[in-house]
Structure formats: structure tokens, C-alpha cells
Amino acid sequence: MIQEPAANRTPSGDYPPLRVGPDPLARFISLSAALTGFSQAELQGTGMAQEYYNVMRSTLSEPLVGRLLLQWTLIEKLDSYLQDEYLSNTILGDETLGPMARNLITLWYLGQWWQLPVAWRQLHGANAQDTTRVVSAQAYEEGLVWVAMGVHPQGAKQPGFGSWALEPAPLPEKAT
């Protein structure tokens, strides 16, 4: 059964509240932290959380976003040693939630939304907003991939003359 995506925005332009507790944005940020390996403070420090939340809300239907955040809200309540296993199996391993979660990682790391996989779109519908794009110039500049690499984004946050001749940050202790 192919399901059409719901129109998310109300006439006033706001998103209707999700029924996943009092603060869905906070749930979005804590899920993002688990997915990206960056702390919630680091994510908040990019200034991008609200924009990325909006990208997700405008691109995915309300029930799907609700399901993703509700699932994460349940996982968060688990003992920490169980959280990773449940994140892996019930979100990343889920045929509906997995592609959405991986796209959130890409959103944070590159500032890009990538069109969801064909199989996912056949299952849940092809939203016109679901196009591959850099979501904004600022999103590019705030891509976490550059932070993870220990460098500035190419073309932004210039490090200054001759900086490239200096010793870089050390590599992580051991490769994983």
C-alpha cells in the first residue's frame, strides 16, 4: 500500500506539535547526538539544530517523524548499555526509520539532504521536498565532517596565511 505524505505545515506556517513529549526538538537533538557521535552541546554550538529539525519536518510526514522520535524517546529511557543495541536494531536497522536516520547523519555532517532510497520512496511516497541539496550556505559551513577532520570547511572559516604549514591536530588514539 503506497501512502501519500501528509501536508505538514498548518496554514500559519508552523508545524503541528508532535505527540512525542513536551519538547520534540530536544528529542531531535539528543537523537542527533547519538547518531553523529557529537555531544548535544557541540550540536547546539553549530546553531543548525532548528533548521535541520525544520528540514526533517518539511521533508517527511508527521507520522514518520513522530515514529522516529517516539522510538528514540523510548530508547533514551533504557539503561545506557542497552541504548546502542536498540538504536542499531530498532532505528538504523529498521526499513523505514533507518534511511531517515542515515539522512540525519548526512544532514549534520555535510549540511546536505540526500534523496531517500528508491525502496523507501516506494513504501512511503515521494515528497517533492525530498531532493538532494545543500540545505543552506550556512549548513555547508557548519558541516560536522570538517570538525571531525580537524579542519575548516573548504572556502569558509579561513585559518589564515601559512596555517597549512603548521602541524595538524593529532589523529585519534586508534583507528576504529
Partner 1 sequence: MSIHPGGQPDGEYDVIIIGGGVIGALIAQKLTAQYKRVLILEAGRAVGSTFPSYQSYVETFYASIPKTPNAPYPQNPKAPSPLAIDVHNITPGTPDLSDYTVETGPLPYGSTYQRALGGTTLHWMGFCPRMVPNDFKLQSTYGRGVDWPIDYDDIKNYYCDAEWAIGVAGNKADQERFGITFPDDYDYPMERIPLSWSDQQLQRYIDGEVVIDGAEHPVEISSLPHARNSIPRPLAARGGKAKGTGSYQPVPAVGTQSTGERCEGNASCIPICPVQAKYSALKTLNQLPEERHTLLTQAVATELLVAANGRIDGVVYKQYPNESTPDFLVAPVTVKAKLYVLAAHAVENAKLLLASGPNGLANSSDQVGRNLMDHPFFITWALAPRHLNLGQWRGPGATSEIPNFRDGAFRSERAATRIDVGNWGWDVATFPPDSNINAFVYGQNLYGPALRNLIADELPRQLRIGYVLEQLPESTNRVTIDRNYMGPLGTYRPVLHYDISDYTRAGMAFAWKLSDAIFDKIGIPRDQIFTQFDENSTGYMPYTPSGGKQMSLAYIGSGHHIGTHRMGVQKSDSVVNRNMRSWDHENLYIVGCGAFPTSATSNPTLTASALALMAADDMLKQLG
**Positions that interact with partner 1 (CB under 8 A):** 34-38, 84, 87, 92, 101-102, 105-106, 109-110, 112, 132-134, 136-138, 140-141, 143-146, 148-152, 154-156, 158-172, 175-176
Q: How far is the CB of 175 from partner 1 (least distance, A)?
A: 5
Q: How far is the CB of 61 from partner 1 (least distance, A)?
A: 22
Angle between the N-to-C axes of helices 24-36 and 49-59, in degrees from 0 to 180, rounded to the nearest 10? 100
Would you give the distance in Å from CA 43 to the centre of its chain? Answer: 10
Which residue, 58 or 106, is less far from partner 1 as judged by CB? 106
Q: How far is the CB of 123 from partner 1 (least distance, A)?
A: 17
Phi/psi zone of residue 37: left (φ > 0), alpha (ψ -120 to 50 degrees), beta?
left
Which residue, 60 or 135, is less far from partner 1 as judged by CB? 135
Which residue, 7 or 166, is less far from partner 1 as judged by CB? 166
Residue type, 60: L
Nearest in space to 139 (alpha carbons), one of 50, 58, 28, 48: 48
* Exposure class string for 41-50: b at 16+ Cβ within 10 A, else e: eebeebebbe
Which residue, 63 or 112, is less far from partner 1 as judged by CB? 112
